[in-house]
Homo-oligomer: A and B are copies of this chain.
Amino acid sequence: MNLKTEVERQMKILSSGTVEIIPENELREKISHSLLKGEPLRVKVGIDPTSPHVHIGHMVIYGKLRQFQDLGHKAVLVIGDYTARIGDPTGRNRERAPLSEEDVLRNSRTYRDQIFKIVDESKTEVHFQSEGFDSLTLQDILNTASAFSTAHMLTHETFRKRLEKGDRLSLHELFYPVLQAWDSLLIKSDVELGGMDQKFNILCGRDLQKNRGMTPQAALFMPLLEGTDGRKMSKSFGNHIPVDADPQDMFGKVMSIKDDLILPWFSLAAQRSSQELSLLKVRLEKENPRDVKMELASEIVSLYHGTEKAERCRLGFISQFSRRELPEEIPLFFIDPKGMKITGILKESGLLPSISEARRLIIQGGLKIDGDPVRDPDFILRPVIDTFIIIKAGKRKYLKVKGR
């Protein structure tokens, strides 16, 4: 293996989809050094288990972490059981209500279960902040705080904005970035991954490591995955896709994204390389974007639920999609749960004037049941529990059939 080629190969994979790497040359050196020594890089991701709800936007980071693992590096997850009790003030206009220890534990279990759908658990080290933090003394804490200037802390956009607006910013919140930085010191991270909203905190980690004479971690920032409507993905906007959403729901929600999100989602939620993205771009210009989007949806569902379920969703979606082209108001007709002759249904519902006209239409191939042609005039239709069956007679006549 040529060292330089391998370093560049890793850099290419790792930098794809990133917004910023600080500093890129240090990451390159770290990879080179790791290859020479045969020692994997320690790649940190901090988890803020403030909520049991994980959505695929959160997983962008873990997709990148998985790429590091696939290149032979070590994932180090730090579960922020301390910081969760502070609540990340980033992007918050108000102080968060502190979480109980039980909440934090429960959330971090859910979180790990979700993460390990993407991250290789066998190549992962998991730490709780409390492992290192429980034994800290006031003196340790003051010493560490002395490495940071208040002025710098107040450049944190959220802090600055809250102070300017007169919103409460409690003193302990200034410690959020300090504690996150401390993690990097304790676990000796070479790289830390995070969203752009974590830039301030992750760079604090670099500062603290430098301050303590350690080689500072490189920082790798991923963009935010936009929600299905193009705004920031958030549970409160209802534009998110929970990682534990059932396959149909997940598939359907991916299918609801705007066309201009297809490529960013392929990059961030499906970790496609820049080469693959170029090909997809060309296809999007030629094909119906819906078909490309269906590939995206299948791929995302595969990640969390496996390929078999993804394929079932795809077929289900196609059939559901066909239904979507039906007229808005279709008369509803209830039949005996045991079933009813199709000709009887057509006449009784008033869709056709007589049994004989119904028979003629069926024989001529003018009847479709749930999109499939039915040519047997003696066919007995059995209703399906909890849903309805769509009958199409001729070009424009529709009927919904349901069991009584």
Check if A168 sits within 8 Å of B149, measured CB to CB.
yes
Check if B170 sits within 8 Å of A148, measured CB to CB.
yes
A-B contact pairs, 16 of them (CB 8 A): A82-B139, A82-B142, A85-B139, A86-B142, A95-B146, A98-B146, A133-B138, A136-B138, A145-B170, A148-B170, A148-B171, A149-B170, A150-B169, A150-B174, A151-B166, A154-B163
Residues on the B chain within 8 Å of A141, using CB: 138, 141, 172
Known: A143-B172, A150-B159. 8 other contacts (CB 8 A): A82-B139, A86-B142, A134-B137, A141-B141, A145-B172, A146-B172, A147-B170, A153-B171
Q: Quick check: is A128 within 8 A (CB to CB) of the other chain?
A: no
The distance from the CB of A130 to the nearest CB of chain B, in whole angstroms, is 9
**Interface size grouping (class) on chain A:** 35 or more
Q: Quick check: is A173 within 8 A (CB to CB) of the other chain?
A: yes
Check if A175 sits within 8 Å of B98, measured CB to CB.
no
Residues on the B chain within 8 Å of A82, using CB: 138-139, 142
The distance from the CB of A343 to the nearest CB of chain B, in whole angstroms, is 75
Q: Quick check: is A178 within 8 A (CB to CB) of the other chain?
A: yes
Residues on the B chain within 8 Å of A98, using CB: 146
Write out, one digit per residue, whether chain A residues 117-157 have a CB within 8 A of any chain B CB (1) or not (0). Answer: 00000000000000001101111011111111111011000
Cβ < 8 Å to B, chain A residues 305-356: none
Measured CB to CB, the residues of A under 8 A from B are 82, 85-86, 95, 98, 133-134, 136-139, 141-151, 153-154, 159, 163, 166, 168-175, 178
Residues on the B chain within 8 Å of A86, using CB: 142
Check if A151 sits within 8 Å of B163, measured CB to CB.
yes
Check if A171 sits within 8 Å of B159, measured CB to CB.
no
Residue of B nearest to A134 (CB): B137
Residues on the B chain within 8 Å of A137, using CB: 134, 136
* Cα separation A95 to B143 with both chains bound (whole Å): 13
